[in-house]
């Protein structure tokens, strides 16, 4: 961001090209919709092709700019093709939300019962996928003279929640990747920050959680109500805007005050 602070434009993402991995489902769907409503040009990169295509179409029907590029974030060639398509279509890349994650399909249970192939799959999506996406957009952000990357971690890391050891471990790794990458790309004027959402009532979370599991989830919060995807939007868009232009390597916790750090 240039010297000085323009309060009229600092928080705007209008006309910026934003990629949202996992952007057609769950919380990612809401990120895509809200970014488009804010005037951004949104690229939905989701392995769920039908859902991604439908969300992009609905954004366009509402007058926004959206492109769906069904993408497996663990596939290096697919990720590169997605970044190339985004840049070719919209003229560049300004922001990336690394939201795609393997979680809702994972059974909860004892760590000792986790098979090695499941562990590898979780790490491939939740860590390797972020690495590949960052690497694919990096040259385009360099050419743009800067950019913003937001990596979605989880508030589970603050307590070390059990029963999905592989998922919790991968999300802790996201914070380490965020900090190290921020130092690697700072000279390119690219910010890299993370967000740790609390237990969020997204479509996918509701579908994969029993009523017993969801019961009592708000007891330890300062704000004693369920968390919804829209509760995360403000922090994410802030990190993508010029207002956060001097923030990098940071982790913002958004969970209603359950955990404080």
Catalytic residues: 167
Residue 150 · residue 240 · CB < 8 Å: yes
Residue 49 · residue 28 · CB < 8 Å: no
Say how far apart CA 136 and CA 130 lie, in whole Å.
10
Residue 46 · residue 100 · CB < 8 Å: yes
DSSP codes joined into one string, 169-209: HHHHHHHHHHHHHHHHHGGGTEEEEEEEE-SB--HHHHHHS
**Interior angle at CA 242, CA 134 and CA 16, nearest 5:** 60
């Amino acid at each position: 961001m240039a010297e000085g602070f323009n309060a009229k434009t600092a928080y705007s993402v209008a006309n910026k090209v934003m990629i949202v991995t996992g952007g057609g489902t769950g919380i990612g769907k809401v990120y895509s919709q809200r970014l488009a409503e804010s005037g951004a040009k949104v690229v939905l990169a989701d392995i769920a092709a039908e859902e991604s295509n439908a969300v992009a179409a609905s954004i366009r029907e509402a007058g926004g700019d959206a492109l769906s590029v069904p993408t497996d974030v663990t596939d290096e060639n697919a990720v590169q093709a997605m970044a190339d398509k985004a840049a070719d279509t919209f003229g560049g890349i300004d922001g990336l939300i690394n939201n795609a994650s393997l979680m809702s399909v994972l059974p909860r249970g004892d760590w000792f019962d986790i098979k090695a192939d499941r562990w590898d799959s979780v790490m491939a999506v939740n860590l390797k996928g972020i690495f590949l996406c960052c690497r694919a957009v990096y040259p385009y952000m360099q050419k743009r003279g800067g950019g913003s990357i937001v990596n979605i971690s989880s508030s589970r890391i603050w307590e070390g929640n059990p029963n999905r050891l592989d998922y919790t471990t991968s999300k802790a790794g996201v914070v380490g990747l965020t900090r190290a990458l921020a130092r690697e790309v700072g000279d390119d004027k690219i910010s890299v920050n993370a967000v740790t959402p609390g237990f969020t009532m997204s479509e996918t979370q509701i579908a994969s959680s029993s009523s017993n599991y969801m019961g009592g989830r708000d007891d330890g919060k300062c704000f004693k109500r369920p968390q919804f995807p829209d509760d995360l939007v403000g922090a994410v868009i802030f990190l993508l805007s010029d207002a956060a232009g001097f923030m990098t390597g940071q982790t913002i916790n958004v969970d209603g005050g359950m955990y404080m750090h």
